[in-house]
Amino acid sequence: MPKMRKVPQRSCLGCKQVLPKKQLYRIVRTPDGEAVFDPT
């Protein structure tokens, strides 16, 4: 029987819902304070 793979998950800051990583966008703050989309 094949092993079940874990699906990476992230939490939404707005609604606190946990969803698969591919369904959410990640926004990060750069060292100079700018907020940018992180494609990873």
pLDDT > 80? residue 19: yes
pLDDT > 80? residue 3: yes
Domain ranges of the chain: 9-38
Q: Model pTM?
A: 0.57
Per-residue pLDDT averaged across 12-25, rounded? 93
- Report d(CA 23, CA 30) in Å as an integer: 23
pLDDT > 80? residue 1: no
Between 4 and 15, whose confidence is greater? Answer: 15
* 38: its two tokens: 């992180």
Conformation bin of residue 16: beta by default, left when phi > 0, alpha when psi is -120 to 50: left
Per-residue pLDDT averaged across 14-19, rounded? 94
- Work out the burial of residue 24: count CB atoms within 10 Å of its CB; fewer than 13 is exposed, 13-18 middle, 19 or more buried: middle
